[in-house]
Each structure stands twice: as C-alpha cells, then as structure tokens.
C-alpha cells in the first residue's frame, strides 16, 4: 500500500504542475518504477543542456533481497549446497547506488523528448549477509560480504512526455561491471569483471 501511495503522489503532483504551467521542460525529477517491485528505490534528476543533449544524475537505496524461512532455505541451498544450518535462515542484500550519464536524443523533437542513447557510469555499494540460529539458539553469521561495483554502461531509451508534464521513460542497456568483494568474516578481498544488464522505467514530472 505504501508503494502504491508513493506512485499516486508522484502522478497527482505532476498533474497539478501541468495545470499551473505549460512552459518548456528543461528539468525533471523521477523515480524508477521498478523499485515498487524490487524494493530498491532510485531517484533521478535530469537537466537539458542543449537542443539534443541532457545530463542525468541519480541516487538509489534499499533492500534488493530480504528473505527468511523457506525462501532463505532455497538461497542457502544454492549458495552452500545445503540449507541445514539449524533454523531461522535469513539472507539480506542491501545498499546504495550513485549514477551519472549523458543523453543524446536522436529524435527530430527537442530534448528531452524521444529516442536517445546514454553512456554513463554507475557505482554500487552492497552488503550481503547470510545468518542463521545455531544449536545454542544464538544468531550466527555465515557470510558477511561488502561489494563495491563500478558499472560502465550504455543505455537506449525513449522518453515520453504525457499531458505536457508527466515523464515516462523506459530504458534498457548493457555494461561492463568492475567489482571487488570484501569478505568481512575472513578479511579477504577478491576482484573481478563481468557483463551487466541494465533497465528501468522512470516516472516523474518535468518543469
């Protein structure tokens, strides 16, 4: 209910702003609607800097995974080959992200409308923790890892402007992720690279 209320507030506010002014959009604020499903909320600000260009910065925070009971048992089974760590198994993944990108709009329409390509960078800081209750009824931590990830990515999207003020922006892309893992239980570090898939649906207001 709280997630639905947040989305309704964004939409109602955008309608009110539209009634007040029909001026050209050079700025917008928005939220990634996928956060209503994932629990990880990203807030974005976009500024038009030329007829075909814009910059966007963002911040996100939340919990990507928080499960216990049978769901956590499945995660333990996948990660360790067993879920028999007594009881009250729990897995939590949470953290924050920062991102910045430049957008070039291909459309004959003036930015920020239409089809665009967007190179950018994203930083992710995540903590993953597996805990369980041992035979002495004490909470024990099996894994406590900190992840630092730099994601260099390219996105394609289409930005709709509805009723002159409402921003609707689906996007999808890929990137190269450079990351490190700090295993807090052993104080060991590991490094790696990988391929990332990036996507979202921004909903917000322009002004």
Mean per-residue pLDDT for 68-77?
92
Residue ranges and CATH numbers for the domains of the chain are: 2-206 (2.40.160)
Torsion angle, alpha carbons of 172, 204, 55, 45, to 10: -120
**What is the CB-side half-sphere exposure of residue 82 using CA atoms within 13 A?**
6
Residue 137, pLDDT score = 85
Residue 14's pLDDT band (cuts 50, 70, 90): very low
What's the pLDDT tens digit per position in 100-159? 999 999 977 788 999 999 999 999 999 999 999 888 888 999 999 999 999 999 999 999
Residue 160, pLDDT score = 96
> Can you give the pTM of this predicted structure?
0.81
What's the pLDDT tens digit per position in 31-53? 999 998 899 999 999 999 999 99
Name the E strands within 75-187.
87-105, 114-133, 139-162, 166-183
Mean per-residue pLDDT for 182-192?
76
| Structure-model confidence comparison of residues 186 and 99, the more confident one | 99
Whole-number average pLDDT of the chain: 88
């Amino acid at each position: 209910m709280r997630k639905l209320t947040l989305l309704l507030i964004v939409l109602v506010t955008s309608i009110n702003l539209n009634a007040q002014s029909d001026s050209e959009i050079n700025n917008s604020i928005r939220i990634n609607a996928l956060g209503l499903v994932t629990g990880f909320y990203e807030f974005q600000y976009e500024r038009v800097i030329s007829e075909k260009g814009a910059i966007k910065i963002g911040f996100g925070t939340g919990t990507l995974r928080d499960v216990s009971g049978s769901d956590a048992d499945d995660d333990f089974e996948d990660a360790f080959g067993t879920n028999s760590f007594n009881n009250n198994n729990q897995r939590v993944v949470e953290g924050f992200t920062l991102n910045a990108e430049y957008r070039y709009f291909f459309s004959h329409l003036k930015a920020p409308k239409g089809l665009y390509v967007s190179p950018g960078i994203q930083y992710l800081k995540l903590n993953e923790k597996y805990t369980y209750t041992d035979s002495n009824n004490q909470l024990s931590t099996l894994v406590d890892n900190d992840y630092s990830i730099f994601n260099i990515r390219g996105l394609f999207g289409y930005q709709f402007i509805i009723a002159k003020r409402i921003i609707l922006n689906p996007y999808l892309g890929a990137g190269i992720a450079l990351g490190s893992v700090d295993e807090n239980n052993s104080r060991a570090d590991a490094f790696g690279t990988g391929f990332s898939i990036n996507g979202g649906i921004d909903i917000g207001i322009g002004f």
